[in-house]
Structure 1
Amino acid sequence: IIFYGYETRPIARACAYTTTPFIPGLSGREDRCLAFLKEAGIELKHEERWRALRDLTEEEKRTLVSALSNHMVYEGCDAEAVHDLVGTIYTLKGEEAWTPVRDGREFASLLNACARMGRPSLGLSICMGDRDEAMKEAAETLDEYRRKIGKYLDWVREGDRIGELENIYTLVAHDDIDERIIGVVSSILLSTGILKSNKPIVASALADEGLIKISARATDAMAKGGLDLGDIMMRAAEPFEGRGGGHDIAAGAFLPEEKGEEFLVMVDRLVGEQLGD
């Protein structure tokens, strides 16, 4: 089970902080995770200490994966998202046990959160060996980052925010989603089955100086079918005094806010052309 916090966090918290895959109704909601785990029959404490995923027996892990899989299928997640519940865990044996830098995935998530939350120097301090104050601040930053993602995804799901053109899904977030995190939200929406994976998603959020940040995401299958979002972002942004680029399945752009609707129409047309529609 590759939840964030495999080494260090109580199981319910590890479940709540997991956004890849995003688990509808559980990601970002520790209270719901506690109730879910109790119902699944998972022992949460050993004596007075909260158990982490590393403490589970193989039988308990199978029970947990089965319960989570059933929950995700019921919530409409696709098979690929369910498959992402399990994977390879990398342990950095030179790091102290029960710390967030012992697990490779936790370490990477910690650094990513520092950057996404505008605190890159904090991540750099940890990479240079600070395991005291910087580590504490980084953990708090990661907690805030995870809560934000959960809040944003709830906002999308509960408010019917997704639009749809002929060839793309759209999400116009204005200032309801932090522009530094709009790309993460887009990836989760497309990769977890919240959206059907038959179209790319193009999302926007307010940036500085009257601009909007565009974040576009697609799947590998779309790229194999001829889609190149990096090319589309570059071509679509230029006529609207913007700039764009990126990779075939993950790309973005910046452009004036008032040009956003026209930009989406052009992107929709270009996606249709590339995919042969």
Structure 2
Amino acid sequence: MFINIEPLYSSMVENIKERVSKLSKPPKLVAVTCQPDSSTLAYLRSQEKQAKRFGIDFAVYEAPKAMDLKILLPKLSADGSVNGIFLTHPLPSDISEYEAVSLISPDKDIEGRHPINLGNILYDKPVFPPCTAEAVLRIINYLTNPSGKKIAVIGRSVTVGKPLAMLLLQKGVDATVTVCHSRTKDIAEITKNSDIVVVAIGKAKMFGKDYFKPGTIVIDVGINVEGDEIVGDVDPSVSEICELTPVPGGVGRITTLVLMEHTVKAAEMSLK
């Protein structure tokens, strides 16, 4: 069956609204974009809508060249009125993601991509984990106690696979984690012996029912465009034997709320 995340979603919405209401002024979220295409502009409009829903101020800055980013990101990081900064893709070809995100203050890196924020996870002291990785952890904790469970993470990206594995290994979470990737042999053997499988590889409907045992919790992180349809990395037919998050309407919805939560948290931290 498809997993109903609505109760989790609703509780997070109420939590964000309550925390914003206790602040002396609205938090401010800033998006930095580089030559945005139509999909990026649509994403920014969606984020602006969500921010306004919670009473969060939202602004967009465009930095078309690497030099513009190198000037703008430190400037925004030093701006006391800005609480959170997120950076859209793609970046200019002459600056790496590592270099770009390192220009953002860790205290305003609400996406959790700064090396300091990623490093904090290793010490079981996450402040701003990557939003999608945290969203997956929230969903897992909402569905079950992950302690002692076998969890397979398919994908090793810096924003999902790697940080998620570390979050699941934290003391207090205590999952047993296997990370699979394009060079992993016999992935089906691993996934069939897992209680929970998280798929984040960016390949439409690649994982079918033959990869899972009945009753497995399957978290589909993938967002792929197939014709006029948005589909995940997992074939929807898997919902016939497993508990599967829907695409769209699953991990992505929680990820957006985590981004807003992080903005509020950054505002709360700035007051301290």
Q: TM-score, normalised by structure 2?
A: 0.25
**Taking CA–CA contacts closer than 8 Å with sequence separation of 6 or more, which of the two structures ends up with the larger relative contact order?**
2
**Structure of larger gyration radius:** 1
| Structure richer in helix, relative to its length | 1
